[in-house]
Each structure stands twice: as structure tokens, then as C-alpha cells.
Amino acid sequence: DTAVSQTPKYLVTQMGNDKSIKCEQNLGHDTMYWYKQDSKKFLKIMFSYNNKELIINETVPNRFSPKSPDKAHLNLHINSLELGDSAVYFCASSQGLAGGPGAGETQYFGPGTRLLVL
């Protein structure tokens, strides 16, 4: 009964390719996130969606496009992959506004997708 799942777990691809990472949460949460963790373990938010609507969009190249078909899924599509995109990408979810103030902060992370661009 995995709470936040991501596929694939590993992704090795050539520069210039387009790839997608999928994320699903079965927690009934309203808000989902994508984070990038670089080789030095630094975690930085990329995007956040609440009920399928984009609410946080940090300075991320427009080659990265998130898509949320429903509130349980948030997929990340990356066009024209570059060497610097190599990292671990984490999906996360939180209850968001549904629980009211003080109820929705905890973010639950998926296991990560290790992307290597050659």
C-alpha cells in the first residue's frame, strides 16, 4: 500500500531525448510537488499543484512541464534532456487546504527517480 509511488525508479537516457516521470499518490491529498535533488543532496522544489492547478513554479527551464490529469497524479515531462538534468527527482504530496490551517503541511515523499543523462 505505497502512499506515493513514482515510475520509473531509474532512467538512463541520451542527451536531447524527451522523457516522462510519473507520480501517483493514494493518500487522498490535494497538493502534489516535484523536487530535484542534485549530487550534493540539495533538495529544491520545482513545482506544486493543488487540485490539478499549478500554484508553485520555481525557476525551472521550460523544458520541464508538469501535468496533472487528476489530483492523484502529477507527471513530469522533460524535453531535450541535458547533462545537467541528471539528478534524483522526488514527487511528494500533502493534504493541502483540505485539512484547513495547521493540518496540511506534512509532505510525504515518493522513493525518487534517478535520472542519468549521458
Binding site residues, another protein, CB under 8 A:
4, 31, 33, 40-45, 48, 50, 55-56, 90, 92, 94, 96-97, 101-102, 104-112
Q: In angstroms, what is the minimal distance from the CB of 16 to another protein?
A: 28
* Residue nearer to another protein on the CB measure, 15 or 103: 103
- Indicate the pairing of strand 43-50 with strand 53-57: antiparallel
Beta bridge mates, 64: 78
Q: In angstroms, what is the minimal distance from the CB of 39 to another protein?
A: 12
Q: In angstroms, what is the minimal distance from the CB of 94 to another protein?
A: 5
* Residue nearer to another protein on the CB measure, 60 or 80: 60
* Residue nearer to another protein on the CB measure, 75 or 94: 94
Exposure pattern of 88-113 as b/e (b: 16+ CB <10 Å)? bbbbbbbbbeeeeeeebeebeebebb
